[in-house]
């Protein structure tokens, strides 16, 4: 029979394991909170006219959004609560924050109320909300997990961010209609049935593709360090146009040596 001392030791070990499991389970939610916090901060600084800082904060939200899912899969803490919480954070960071950033840019220096800017920016918020709700409620076990249906909201927000960095001065000048185009096109793509590539398998710690992940990370770091605006625009607009470009450029993939493909995958 186990002694009282043995039972006490087992109880303590069980309590420690339980505490550790609970701590690991809350870890993804901390990253989700970081996502929401950056999105909320972006809204505040947009109101103050600090557009570049707002774009940076939304970019940080994208990083937190990528990380919380990867951490959840790593620690085995993928839960319905986490899914819903992540979507609420995404609505703040990739729904409200980009819309307000675009609207304040469009309204800069204008005294009169412009209903066109209001309507287009609300279209963004509505499409982002519909996109997130559809993602949470559509359960299709036969669906290809490598693709999203409709442009994901972080990718759509990336188009706004890249545009702010590259064309921010024009957005505040005569060419304000550029803002509406940058907002309206990704907004509509969010609620279409067009397939966009998902890169969750690449960033997943259990993907088994370390070389591809490392190579991608190194290229991104070099690109953003040397040519941040160009790199951001290539990524954002490339992803926006991917459904059109991939079928056209796919034949070029045959020119890549098989060994190189295997090394990067």
CA pair distance 229, 216, nearest whole angstrom: 18
Give yes or no for a contact between 152 and 131, defined as CB atoms under 8 angstroms apart.
yes
Residue with tokens 């307000």: 100
Q: What is the rounded (10 degree) CA torsion for 10, 15, 16, 20?
A: 140
DSSP state of 206: T
Q: Which domain holds residue 89?
A: 24-206
Residue 90's CB: how many other CB atoms inside 10 A?
26
Give yes or no for a contact between 163 and 182, defined as CB atoms under 8 angstroms apart.
yes
Which pLDDT score is estimated for 213?
Answer: 65
Is residue 215 a part of any domain in this protein? no
List pLDDT tens digits, range 39-71.
Answer: 999 999 999 989 989 999 999 999 999 888 888
Which whole-number Å values give the CA distances from 2 to 5, 15, 44, 103, in the listed order? 8, 18, 61, 69
Which tokens sit at 67?
């990380």
CA pair distance 12, 181, nearest whole angstrom: 60
Q: Which pTM does this prediction carry?
A: 0.79
pLDDT band at 263 (very low <50, low <70, confident <90, very high): very low
Using alpha carbons, select from 220, 216, 217 the residue that is nearest to residue 264: 216
As a whole-number percent, the residues of the chain with pLDDT over 70 amount to: 71
Which pLDDT score is estimated for 111?
Answer: 65
For residues 220 and 16, which has the higher predicted lDDT (pLDDT)?
Answer: 220
pLDDT band at 264 (very low <50, low <70, confident <90, very high): very low
Give yes or no for a contact between 164 and 51, defined as CB atoms under 8 angstroms apart.
yes
In this predicted structure, the answer to whether residue 109 has a pLDDT above a threshold of 70 is: no
In this predicted structure, the answer to whether residue 257 has a pLDDT above a threshold of 60 is: no
Is residue 192 a part of any domain in this protein? yes
Is residue 168 a part of any domain in this protein? yes
Which pLDDT score is estimated for 35?
Answer: 96
Which tokens sit at 26?
């809350």
CA pair distance 152, 131, nearest whole angstrom: 8
In this predicted structure, the answer to whether residue 131 has a pLDDT above a threshold of 90 is: yes
CA pair distance 66, 74, nearest whole angstrom: 13
CATH of the domain at 157: 1.20.120.1760
Give yes or no for a contact between 76 and 123, defined as CB atoms under 8 angstroms apart.
no
Residues 6 or more apart in contact with residue 48 via CB below 8 angstroms: none
List pLDDT tens digits, range 7-37.
Answer: 554 544 555 455 566 666 788 889 999 999 9
Is residue 248 a part of any domain in this protein? no
In this predicted structure, the answer to whether residue 100 has a pLDDT above a threshold of 60 is: yes
- Which ranges of the chain does DSSP label H, i.e. alpha helix? 4-47, 51-75, 80-90, 97-107, 115-137, 153-171, 177-190, 200-203, 210-226, 228-249, 258-264
Give yes or no for a contact between 153 and 90, defined as CB atoms under 8 angstroms apart.
yes
Is residue 221 a part of any domain in this protein? no
Is residue 19 a part of any domain in this protein? no
> Which range is least confidently modeled, 34-43, 98-107, 254-263?
254-263
In this predicted structure, the answer to whether residue 185 has a pLDDT above a threshold of 80 is: yes
Domain count, the chain: 1
For residues 231 and 74, which has the higher predicted lDDT (pLDDT)?
Answer: 231
For the chain, the average pLDDT equals 80
Is residue 123 a part of any domain in this protein? yes
For residues 179 and 230, which has the higher predicted lDDT (pLDDT)?
Answer: 230
Which pLDDT score is estimated for 220?
Answer: 81
Which pLDDT score is estimated for 9?
Answer: 46
Is residue 152 a part of any domain in this protein? yes
CA pair distance 88, 94, nearest whole angstrom: 10
What value does the mean pLDDT take over residues 67-78? Answer: 81
In this predicted structure, the answer to whether residue 161 has a pLDDT above a threshold of 80 is: yes
């Amino acid at each position: 029979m186990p002694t009282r001392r043995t039972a006490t030791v087992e109880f303590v070990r069980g309590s420690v394991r339980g505490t550790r499991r609970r701590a690991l389970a809350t870890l993804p939610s901390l990253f989700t909170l970081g996502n929401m916090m950056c999105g909320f901060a972006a809204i505040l600084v947009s109101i103050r006219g600090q557009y570049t800082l707002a774009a940076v904060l939304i970019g940080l939200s994208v990083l937190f959004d990528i990380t919380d899912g990867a951490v959840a899969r790593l620690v085995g803490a993928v839960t319905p609560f986490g899914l819903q919480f992540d979507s609420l954070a995404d609505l703040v960071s990739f729904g409200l924050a980009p819309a307000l950033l675009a609207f304040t840019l469009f309204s800069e220096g204008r005294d009169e109320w412009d209903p066109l800017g209001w309507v287009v920016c609300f279209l963004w918020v509505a499409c982002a909300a519909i996109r997130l709700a559809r993602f949470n409620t559509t359960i299709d076990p036969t669906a290809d997990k490598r693709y999203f249906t409709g442009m994901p909201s972080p990718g759509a927000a990336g188009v706004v961010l890249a545009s702010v960095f590259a064309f921010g001065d024009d957005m505040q000048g005569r060419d304000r209609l550029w803002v509406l185009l940058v907002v309206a096109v990704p907004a509509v793509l969010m609620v279409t049935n067009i397939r966009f590539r998902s890169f969750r398998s690449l960033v997943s710690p259990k993907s088994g593709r370390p070389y591809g992940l490392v190579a991608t990370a190194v290229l991104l770091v070099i690109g953003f360090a040397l040519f941040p605006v160009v790199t951001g625009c290539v990524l954002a607009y490339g992803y926006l146009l991917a459904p059109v470009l991939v079928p056209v450029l796919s034949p070029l993939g045959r020119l890549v040596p098989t060994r190189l493909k295997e090394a990067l995958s």
